[in-house]
Amino acid sequence: MHRSAILTASLLSIFGFLYVGCTQDFDQFEPVPTGGTGSSVSSSSGGEVGGMGGMGGAGGGTGGGAVSSSGTGGGMPECMNNNDCPNDSLCEDWSCTAGKCVSAQVPAGMPAGNQIPGNCRARICNAMGEDEIVDDPTDVPADDGNPCTDEVCNGGEPAHPNEPAGTDCMSGGDPGKCDGNGQCIKLECMADADCSGANAVCVNNLCVACDDGKMNGDETGVDCGGTHCKKCNGDACALAGDCGSNNCVDGVCCNMACTATCMACNVAGSVGTCSNLPAMQDDPLAQMACTGLQTCDGAGMCKLKNGSPCNANNACVSGKCGGNPKICQP
Ligand SMILES: [Ca+2]
Ligand SMILES: [Ca+2]
Ligand SMILES: [Ca+2]
């Protein structure tokens, strides 16, 4: 679509730049076949809205690209009006001036057409008078309404990462703090006395307790750990009373008394949970010690080591009793 000469002229005067383009052979643009002549709107993928855009401020009077003549003067004018000239694109305006089709390019880097706000991208004109989509780190997305998320561009994409825990926020008109997971938690207390509940204390402006069934305050597990609660299973302990479970076994708080032979609470991979000792590991400290000729079978049973005298396969850790005299075989 061609704009009127009046519009073109007014745009040009607004922008204050001179015609940069040049006159070209009229024939070259008819009937606008396949590309090449700068007459088609560049169709960069997705993103910004096409169409005539509200250009920003003046582009500065750079570039004295004069209107050049296409040659052998005289004769027929190239154009009678703008309709005889190539279609405008986002970055190039064509007009018929003094019988010649001339183009004015939007300066490189200037916005091309309408912009989609908040998508971390911009459509701009490049030095070739074509429009293209570029990352725009300043084009951050609109606030998502969550005071505990930020609004940023991340690699050209809008993102709303959680604000760090402790960030001030407002929760329903009341002051709060972000929990680091995108939630604004209303401040409940300034001191323990502000908290109802016999066992509740004020930790980081929240009322928490070691018996409220929630991992809150500075607890490291549900109702255990931190400065106010007893230790969690798996935490190092000296006394049963150190532990929320009231079981201190093998130096750690344990989920149960864990007194059976060939079981322990400090087995690697399941510290804090009473588990079978690995096969071939002795359990000398158990009430019924498993050591000497015996060792644990990995399934919570104490059996004979290889080489120990035996009378049945299932008495051996290896499951093999043989030879003469009979001993546990590897
Ligand atoms: Ca944008
Ligand atoms: Ca937000
Ligand atoms: Ca709790």
- For 5-45, how does the pLDDT look when each residue is reduced to its tens digit (9 = 90+)? 333 333 333 333 333 443 444 333 333 333 333 333 344 43
DSSP-H helix ranges across 163-208: none
Cβ contact 297:307 at 8 Å: no
CA distance 14 to 11: 5
Relative to the alpha carbon of 120, which ligand is closest?
1
> Mind listing the pLDDT tens digit for each residue in 276-323?
999 999 999 888 999 999 999 999 999 999 999 999 999 999 999 999
Residue 300 falls within a domain, yes or no? yes
Listed residues 103, 136, 169: the one ending a domain: 136
Residue 246 Cα to ligand 3 midpoint, Å, equals 17
What CA–CA distance (Å, rounded) separates 29 from 87? 9
Beta strands 201-203 and 206-208 are: antiparallel
Q: What is the model's pLDDT at position 217? A: 87
- Counted domains in the chain: 2
Q: Which pTM value belongs to this model?
A: 0.47
Domain range holding 307?
290-330
pLDDT at 125 over 70: yes
Whether residue 228 is contained in a domain is answered as no
Are 28 and 37 contacting, i.e. CB atoms less than 8 angstroms apart?
yes
Mark which of 136, 158, 178 sits at the end of a domain: 136
Tell me the CA–centroid distance for residue 117 and ligand 1, in Å.
4
Classify residue 254 as left (phi > 0), alpha (psi -120 to 50) or beta.
Answer: beta
Indicate which ligand has the atom closest to the C-alpha of 218. 3
In a domain, 285, yes or no: no
Q: Is residue 153 one of the residues assigned to a domain?
A: no
Calculate how far, in angstroms, residue 313's C-alpha sits from the geometric centre of ligand 1: 77
Chain Cα centroid distance, residue 154: 8
User: Each residue of 189-212: pLDDT tens digit?
Assistant: 989 999 998 899 998 888 999 999
Backbone angles phi, psi at 11, to 5 degrees: -60, -45
Strand extents, DSSP E, 187-258: 201-203, 206-208, 248-249, 252-253
Structural contact between residues 265 and 273, judged by C-beta atoms closer than 8 angstroms: yes
Ion ligand 1: residues, CB within 5 A, are 115-116, 119, 121, 139
- Which ligand minimizes its atom distance to the CA of 232? 3
Which residue in the block uniquely carries the two structure tokens 């400090």?
Answer: 266
Q: What is the pLDDT of residue 74?
A: 52
Higher pLDDT, 7 or 151: 151
Boundary of a domain, candidates 81, 108, 136 = 136
Evaluate whether residue 84 is within a structural domain.
yes
DSSP string covering 27-76, please?
A: GGGSS--SS-SS-SPP--SSSS--SS----S---S----PPPP-SS-SSS
Per-residue b or e along 314-323, where b marks 16 or more CB atoms closer than 10 Å to that residue's CB = ebbbbeebee
User: How far apart are alpha carbons 284 and 290 in whole angstroms?
Assistant: 5
